[in-house]
Amino acid sequence: MLLDNFYSIVKKESAEASASAAIAINASHKILQGHFPGQPVVPGVCMMQIVRELTELFVSKKLKITEGDNLKFLSIIDPRQHNEIDVTVSWKENAGIYIVNATLFAGAVTFFKFKGTLQAV
């Protein structure tokens, strides 16, 4: 939904049950024109969608977020200042249920931490 439109993958690496990616935010995307005019901020729902889409890519399954156990929005992402973001994702899978931990960050700045459950659809 957002991949290759709102953001693109610059680089990705994966291991068993974990992965990382560097993504580039499209600073001119229409979502950012309305959130907020003159002061673009990546919406929290977009951060969650990025986690879902990257997890889908890494596990090669369509997923839906079924539970957000712990969501921490720690700093805003202004794509004019941080248009490239690092994302780490780790998961444990049992019968199509994925317990996921993810972080969006740039250098020493952490933007978002996610711990939740995604289910194969």
| The predicted structure's pLDDT at residue 98 | 98
For residue 59, what are its two tokens?
Answer: 């596990």
Q: What is the pTM of this model?
A: 0.96
CA–CA gap between residue 79 and residue 85 (Å, rounded): 9
| The predicted structure's pLDDT at residue 36 | 86
CA–CA gap between residue 3 and residue 19 (Å, rounded): 16
Q: Does pLDDT of 83 surpass 90?
A: no
At 79, give phi and psi (nearest 5°): -65, -15
Q: At which residue do the structure tokens 């951060």 appear?
A: 47
Residue 88 banded pLDDT, cuts 50, 70, 90: very high
Residue 90 banded pLDDT, cuts 50, 70, 90: very high
Taking residues 1-23, report their average pLDDT.
Answer: 97
